[in-house]
Amino acid sequence: MRTSSLRLDVPAVFLFEPTMGQPVSLNNSASRLLHFLALSEAPRITLAAIERGLAADARISTISAVSGPIDGVQSELRRECRRADGCIYVLTRVWAPGSNTILTVEDVTARVVEMRGRRLARILLRRIAAARDADDAAHTVLRSIHLYTGWTQGELRLMGDGGLVAVAERGGRSITTSVDGTISEDLPHSESFVTIPPEIPGAPPVCAAEIPLVAGAMPFGIMNFSSAARAADEFSFGVVCAAAPLVALALAGKRDQDLLRMVKQGFSKTYVVPMASVDQDIRGTRRK
């Protein structure tokens, strides 16, 4: 059975002989790739069949092409394959007239996810810094992630003095509520992503994502998202997870700013006003 995506920790390497174009050698990652493409039981496996399977529902772009100027000099073709499921492969074909052809398939998805996660984090950090308070910052984070991923429902819960404060975005509506609970009972330490089969025949499956917000050693918040499942949801999930640590630190800083502002306001009401009254009393006594 074909899965929705395939991640390769080690590049898949195929060696094709020049006469019939059949593979004469392949590593374990290459075997996994053939199984993913439903080619492992094919009567004849060719380089073209593998490339066609990878290119299905994908965008192919050429990275570089080097042609040997004379016979016996190797040629090389490097292409990028961006699949609808979010996986990104770099296909490198090396060949020479009368010699074996080498096809290498390298999975660069994790590298791209980290890069896009840093880019998303920079955008969110600027928006958090411009927010009025932690509540406004939480809504801003949810709206921004909805625009990036296309997920339709989300909730961000932050631990406060009175328990969990839930900030939700559903269909463009913002909701803030208080939730009873403690950090150990309600906030997990690791992220999770699942695709739930539909309960109604013909309806699309639903994806559900859970991403903790950790500032320091302990989580102080969590983001939950759900939506009709799409092919690139796992890729989007990886990008948001990559951005989450910096977002957590920024939200924690915003929450600390709110607490400091409340302390200053309380100090002003408690001490500054009475001191002014005492000063007036002293001046009135002196005039007498």
pLDDT of amino acid 277: 47
The two three-digit tokens of residue 2, written as one number? 């074909």
Tokens 């010699």 label which residue? Answer: 99
Residue 55 has a CB neighbour count (10 Å cut-off) of 15
Q: How far is CA 83 from CA 180, 184, 235, 242, in A?
A: 43, 39, 11, 20
Spatial distance between the Cα atoms of 69 and 5, rounded to a whole number of angstroms: 39
Reading the block at residue 18, the tokens are: 């020049």
Q: Which two tokens stand for residue 119?
A: 């880019």
CA separation for the pair 204, 81 (Å, rounded): 26
Beta bridge pairs of residue 83: 58
Q: How far apart are CA 283 and CA 111, in angstroms?
A: 71
What is the dotted CATH code of the domain comprising 12-107?
3.30.310
Distances (CA, A) of 115 to 182, 226, 243: 34, 24, 10
- Cβ–Cβ < 8 Å for 14, 95: no
Render pLDDT for 6-54 as a digit per residue (tens, 0 to 9).
Answer: 889 999 999 999 888 889 999 999 999 999 998 888 888 889 899 889 8
Q: What ranges do the domains of the chain cover?
A: 12-107, 111-271
Model pLDDT for residues 154-211, shown as the tens digit of each residue: 888 877 644 445 566 555 455 555 444 444 445 566 889 998 888 888 888 999 999 9
111-271: CATH number? 3.30.450.40
**Closest-CA residue to 157 (of 130, 133, 175, 173):** 175
Beta strands 75-83 and 153-160, pairing class: unpaired
Work out the angle between the directed axes of helices 109-130 and 233-267 (0-180°, nearest 10). Answer: 30
> Tell me, what's the pLDDT at 2?
38
User: How much is the pLDDT for 269?
Assistant: 54
The end-to-end CA distance of the chain, in Å, is 97
Please tell me the pTM assigned to this model.
0.75
Q: CA-to-CA distance for 207 and 238, rounded, in angstroms?
A: 14
Cβ atoms of residues 40 and 26 within 8 Å: no
Integer Cα distance of 243 and 118 in angstroms: 6
pLDDT tens-digit series, residues 60-117: 998 888 876 555 578 899 999 998 888 899 999 998 888 899 999 999 999 999 999 9
CA atoms within 13 A on the CB side of 274: 5
